[in-house]
């Protein structure tokens, strides 16, 4: 191997102020065998700590600079893929371990699925990061990408992999790197405003690029890393300043005279579907719904599957619930529904049903994006297992996002559970609602990072669409979010209570709500062009 073929990190000489970083880069690039992959797994896990609820966003710099240095020493296709896979495996195990907590509700039946949930799902998702590293490595070799050029290429292919992960096989766009700005790290709220233009995938591209460019500090002496560092600063400072200006100039308008009551009963999942506890569960919901208020309550919102099943078939119960609500208030509740009477029940839906003050059913929304293995079993004719949620029958999917017109309220766009994680797929863009309502049940996941991540993700949908989002959870986390992502009120995990929140007014449609991921895709192309241009410039010198 000639000197020109060596990784940049192994070519440094001298002892300047960057010598410690160059030494770290050289040590990282020199790792081989299991040590190399173990280090990649560790760096992936560190990257997950940048996400809620840990919110240590600067750790992305440590993890992605290390990934660049590891990648520099990779020459074989298989090595590049498995390096990216190892990093992704650590990232997804640390970020998605909470999925296994759902199995603890009925561990006697599903104990054998625990390795699949905790290790198998991360192993499968890591294929996307493996392919990203493979593509970046191939581009580096084919086009002689060095210096900042190879860093830009890796950021582009990482974010392409994120986008594909969000769409292939029903999609699972959880723990996108851009969500590192959806938590409590200082400056996150201004930075999050970028999603009103680029969406979360665009924010991921900016974030990964900014986190990886400091790897130039580990390159050989005389490599001139400072333009890359300046670019890193600008990539964060410009969106943050622009976002801060947007927040400072944004109104805090409310829909006049509209207050919504969000109920969080925090019923343990073990009791939620216990027939013996059903009456007590209902009494708790009613008690929380009927508390006194200084202002009229326009609607009471119960979380996912809160009402007794098949509420649409029980006229007496609907009338009883209507009487228990504040005077004149609608009841908007998650419920498991079936075919309309008198037809024989042959389908079930995870639904939202809306009752008026007389107990009449005035609107229904059926969840469209179902959870594989949680609400239905893929390849049902081949896999001899049952879904994790109670009952032998798989849920049926609804037709997709819709806007529901309501009496004396702005039209609403309902979202059930993890439907809120899918960018550009949360509302009917042809009939834009005035607000979004997310009913969910995160009691499945206990005191893990899952409920915190779910709430943070919902914040981003509000900014992307320019719509307020109200969220009612059985347990963790209920809250009201304005169209700029500001949390106006919340009930934390394990809290039992009700929030009376004025309904924020929507903004005008955002750029992202009008054109979706078009700007993100354009940024990918621009960043690739810059990468190739830098490479040609380097060669010409």
Tokens of 410: 């702005």
Q: Is 417 a catalytic residue?
A: yes
Q: Is 344 a catalytic residue?
A: no
- The answer to whether the beta carbons of residues 202 and 162 sit under 8 Å apart is no
Residues 6+ apart with CB under 8 A from 5: none
Beta bridge partners of 414: 437
Tokens 């880069």 locate to 25
CB contact burial 444-465 (16+ within 10 A = b; e otherwise) = bbbebbbbbbbbbbbbbbbbbb
Q: Is 304 a catalytic residue?
A: yes
Catalytic residue, from 159, 312, 353, 417: name it.
417
Dihedral over Cα of 499, 503, 507, 511: its sign: positive
Q: SS in 3 state form for 250-304?
A: CCCCEEEEEEEEEEECCCCHHHHCCHHHHHHHHHHHHHHHCCCCCCCCCEEECCC
What does the alpha-carbon distance between residue 96 and residue 478 come to, in Å, rounded to a whole number?
21
Question: Does a cis peptide bond (omega within 30 degrees of 0) precede residue 53?
Answer: yes
Assign residue 14 a region (left: φ > 0; alpha: ψ between -120 and 50; beta: otherwise): left
What does the alpha-carbon distance between residue 70 and residue 357 come to, in Å, rounded to a whole number?
63
- The answer to whether the beta carbons of residues 496 and 264 sit under 8 Å apart is yes
- The answer to whether the beta carbons of residues 193 and 463 sit under 8 Å apart is yes
What does the alpha-carbon distance between residue 119 and residue 422 come to, in Å, rounded to a whole number?
23
How many CB atoms are located within 10 Å of the residue 76 CB?
A: 10
Whose CA is closest to 194, among 510, 514, 527, 539?
Answer: 510
Catalytic residue, from 162, 269, 304, 419: name it.
304
Whose CA is closest to 510, among 534, 484, 529?
Answer: 484
CB contact burial 236-245 (16+ within 10 A = b; e otherwise) = beebbeebee
What does the alpha-carbon distance between residue 352 and residue 333 come to, in Å, rounded to a whole number?
6
Catalytic residue, from 162, 353, 367, 375: name it.
367
How many CB atoms are located within 10 Å of the residue 77 CB?
A: 12
What does the alpha-carbon distance between residue 47 and residue 67 come to, in Å, rounded to a whole number?
11
Active site residue ranges: 304, 367, 417
């Amino acid at each position: 191997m000639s000197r020109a073929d060596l990784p940049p990190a192994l070519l440094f000489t001298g002892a300047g102020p960057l010598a410690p970083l160059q030494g770290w880069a050289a040590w990282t690039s020199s790792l081989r065998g299991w040590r190399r992959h173990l280090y990649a797994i560790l760096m992936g896990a560190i990257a997950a700590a940048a996400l809620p609820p840990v919110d240590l966003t600067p750790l992305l710099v440590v993890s992605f600079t290390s990934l660049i240095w590891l990648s520099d020493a990779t020459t074989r296709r298989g090595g590049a893929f498995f390096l990216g896979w190892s990093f992704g495996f650590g990232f997804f195990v640390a970020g998605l371990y909470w999925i296994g907590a759902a199995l603890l509700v009925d561990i006697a039946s599903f104990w054998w699925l625990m390795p699949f949930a905790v290790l198998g799902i991360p192993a499968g998702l890591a294929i996307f990061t493996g392919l990203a590293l493979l593509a970046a490595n191939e581009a580096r070799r084919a086009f002689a990408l060095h210096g900042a050029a190879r860093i830009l290429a890796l950021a582009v292919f990482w974010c392409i992999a994120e986008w594909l992960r969000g769409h292939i096989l029903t999609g699972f766009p959880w723990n996108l790197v851009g969500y590192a700005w959806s938590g409590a790290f200082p400056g996150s709220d201004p930075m999050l405003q970028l999603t009103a233009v680029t969406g979360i995938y665009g924010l991921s591209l900016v974030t990964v690029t900014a986190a990886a460019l400091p790897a130039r500090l580990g390159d050989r002496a005389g490599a001139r890393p400072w333009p890359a560092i300046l670019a890193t600063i600008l990539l964060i400072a410009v969106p943050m300043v622009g976002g801060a200006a947007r927040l400072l100039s944004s109104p805090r308008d409310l829909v006049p005279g509209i207050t919504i009551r969000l109920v969080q009963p925090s019923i343990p999942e073990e009791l939620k579907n216990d027939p013996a506890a059903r009456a007590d569960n209902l009494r708790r919901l009613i008690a929380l719904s009927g508390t006194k208020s200084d202002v009229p309550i326009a609607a009471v919102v119960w979380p996912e599957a809160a009402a007794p099943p098949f509420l649409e078939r029980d006229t007496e119960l609907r009338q009883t619930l209507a009487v228990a609500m504040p005077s004149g208030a609608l009841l908007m509740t998650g419920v498991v529904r079936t075919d309309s009477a008198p037809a024989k029940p042959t389908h079930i839906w995870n639904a939202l049903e809306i009752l008026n003050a007389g107990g009449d059913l005035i609107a229904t929304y059926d969840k469209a994006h179902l959870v594989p293995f949680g609400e239905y079993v893929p390849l049902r004719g081949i896999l001899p297992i049952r879904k994790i949620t109670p009952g032998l029958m798989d849920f049926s999917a609804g037709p997709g996002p819709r806007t529901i017109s309501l009496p004396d309220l702005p039209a609403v766009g309902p979202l059930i559970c993890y439907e809120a994680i899918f960018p550009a797929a949360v509302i009917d863009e042809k009939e834009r609602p005035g607000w979004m309502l997310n009913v969910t049940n995160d009691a499945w996941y206990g005191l893990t990072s899952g409920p915190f991540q779910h709430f943070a993700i919902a914040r981003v949908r509000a900014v992307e669409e320019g719509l307020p989002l109200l969220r009612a959870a059985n347990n963790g986390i209920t809250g009201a979010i304005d169209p700029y992502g500001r949390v106006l009120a919340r009930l934390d995990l394990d809290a039992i209570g009700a929030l009376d929140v004025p309904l924020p007014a929507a903004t005008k449609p955002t750029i992202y709500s009008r054109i979706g991921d078009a700007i993100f895709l354009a940024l990918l192309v621009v960043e690739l062009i810059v990468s190739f241009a830098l490479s040609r410039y380097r060669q010409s010198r």
